[in-house]
Amino acid sequence: MFIDHVLSVIRAHPDREAIIWHDRVYTFRWLEESISKWSGFLEDNAVARGSVVSLEADFSPDSIALLLALIARACVVVPLTASVETKKTEFREIAQVETIVRADGEHPEVSHTGLEVTHALLLEVRARNHPGLVLFSSGSTGKSKGALHDLVPLLEKFTSPRPALRAISFLLFDHIGGFNTLLYSLSNAGCIVTVTSRLPDAVCAAIAKHRVQLLPTSPTFINLLLVSEAYRRHDLSSLELVTYGTEPMHESTLRRFHELYPRIRLQQTYGLSEVGILRSRSRASDSLWVRIGGDGYETRVVDDMLEIKAKSAMLGYLNAPSPFTEDGWFKTYDVVQVDGEDFRILGRKSELINVGGEKVYPAEVESVLCTMPGVQSVTVRGEPNPITGQIVTARVKLDNSEPLSAFRKRMFEHCKNALPRFKIPQKVVIVSEDMHGERFKTVRSSSS
């Protein structure tokens, strides 16, 4: 009963392409049969109804079918991809996983952990007889937090019909964005095109080969796409919509992409593991101003920070105190500017840099620095300094090696008309490693 809506869509379009994996096509008919098959498999392997089950896989036809079968079985599903390999043991403990389903090899394997479920929130979902979902935040600003959702209200959102699109499953299987893309696609008889690599050329090749219309991605990836010029080497004419979220977008990146592809709609998304993905509408493709909300969501701004009230909000964190206010609002700690009904997200409060009393957000400095010739990527953060409180430190990855002093001089020239003096990094470090994690989200936790 929990996947009734998705099943009805699946049954209505048996011959449509549902999933493309390793360049092979899997139809909705295949998916329906697969869900049945895996339901039997779960039964045969003593995966109890309502149990907490980790599903360890990335997007694949089997993992998708298993996910749906587990939901139908009212299990609390804990998706875990290879990107969190080193944290799996910790995450399984936090979520009190009773059964592990490994589905990233030839044949799915089931093992039982012997762990007992004692957490009040997990017991609550069980008492409701509802399926659940546990998502771990990326931990890019601290420790990873496990958010537990009751899937019934979360799945409600997908019953309103939307256009069917061919979309890349860029966002990970264990990420709220990835889950959202998947359910959206299945609920509207769209097609999920999986990719073996999330590097720009591989993604562009998949877009060209499978005539993909939608790319849900992150600002870091779009920047990489521009810097690598992968877009020159592949035919992206099928692309209609690129959505971006998970971190602040640099205005310069947005403008550059829009200039290259004026016909592709660029749409900012806003969502969190804790409340799901909100509906959003950017003012324009090259604008950072966005309206967010939609059915079941309310927004308000308190102390310049965005707060959200969601019908589909999580029950709570499994390993952290409740982030909700007394009146049920979720504090995002995202600092925003407001203009009428639109918001402009400046950055997380924790990223704010205070230099001698003047405030600056990493994104605004990065936006200027990343347009410097020879700069592959840049991350800005604050560092403590007793003279001014904090200083602005830029970590830069360059195309070619360059002496630090030469770069600093170039940087100052480049920035002097675009930024007030205090925003120009007082410290520069040239790095050679990539600064984003597997989720293509720039890591910028500040040192203090």
Partner 1 sequence: MLGGSQAQALQVVDLIVESILQIKDETGLTVPSRLQADTALLGTEGFLDSMALVTLVVALEQNIEEKFGVSVQLADAHALSQEHSPYSTIYALAEYALLRMQTD
**CA 248 centroid distance within chain:** 12
Q: How far apart are CA 257 and CA 285, in angstroms?
A: 9
Q: How far is the CB of 25 from partner 1 (least distance, A)?
A: 56
Nearer to partner 1 (CB atom), residue 251 or residue 358 = 358
- 343 - beta bridge partners? 290, 338
Q: How far is the CB of 71 from partner 1 (least distance, A)?
A: 53
Nearer to partner 1 (CB atom), residue 340 or residue 403 = 403
Q: How far is the CB of 158 from partner 1 (least distance, A)?
A: 51
Q: What is 68-120 written as a DSSP string? A: HHHHHTT-EEEEE-GGGGGGHHHHHHHTT-SEEEE-SSSS-EEEE-------H
Q: How far apart are CA 118 and CA 138, in angstroms?
A: 25
How many residues would you count in the chain? 448
Nearer to partner 1 (CB atom), residue 328 or residue 384 = 384
Q: Which residues contact 284 (CB under 8 A, 6 or more apart)?
A: none
Nearer to partner 1 (CB atom), residue 147 or residue 428 = 428
Nearer to partner 1 (CB atom), residue 45 or residue 446 = 446
Nearer to partner 1 (CB atom), residue 89 or residue 405 = 405
Q: How far is the CB of 384 from partner 1 (least distance, A)?
A: 9
Q: How far is the CB of 445 from partner 1 (least distance, A)?
A: 20
User: Edge-to-edge strands of the sheet including 24-27?
Assistant: 24-27, 17-21, 191-193, 166-168, 214-217, 241-244, 265-268
Q: Is 146 helix (H, G, I), strand (E, B) or coil?
A: strand
**CA 129 centroid distance within chain:** 28
How far the first Cα of the chain sits from its last, in Å, is: 50
Q: How far is the CB of 413 from partner 1 (least distance, A)?
A: 8
Q: How far apart are CA 308 and CA 221, in angstroms?
A: 27
Q: How far is the CB of 399 from partner 1 (least distance, A)?
A: 21
**CA 339 centroid distance within chain:** 26
Nearer to partner 1 (CB atom), residue 397 or residue 408 = 408
Q: How far is the CB of 142 from partner 1 (least distance, A)?
A: 24
Nearer to partner 1 (CB atom), residue 359 or residue 427 = 427
Amino acid at 121: L
Q: How far is the CB of 171 from partner 1 (least distance, A)?
A: 38
Give the number of C-alpha atoms closer than 13 A to the C-alpha of residue 226, restricted to the C-beta side.
24
Q: Decide if 115 contacts 45 (C-beta within 8 A).
A: no
Q: Decide if 51 contacts 75 (C-beta within 8 A).
A: yes
Residues in touch with partner 1 (CB under 8 A): 355-356, 385-388, 391, 404-405, 408-409, 411-412, 416, 421-422, 426-427
Q: How far is the CB of 86 from partner 1 (least distance, A)?
A: 29
Nearer to partner 1 (CB atom), residue 365 or residue 391 = 391
Nearer to partner 1 (CB atom), residue 19 or residue 394 = 394
Pairing of strands 99-102, 109-112: antiparallel
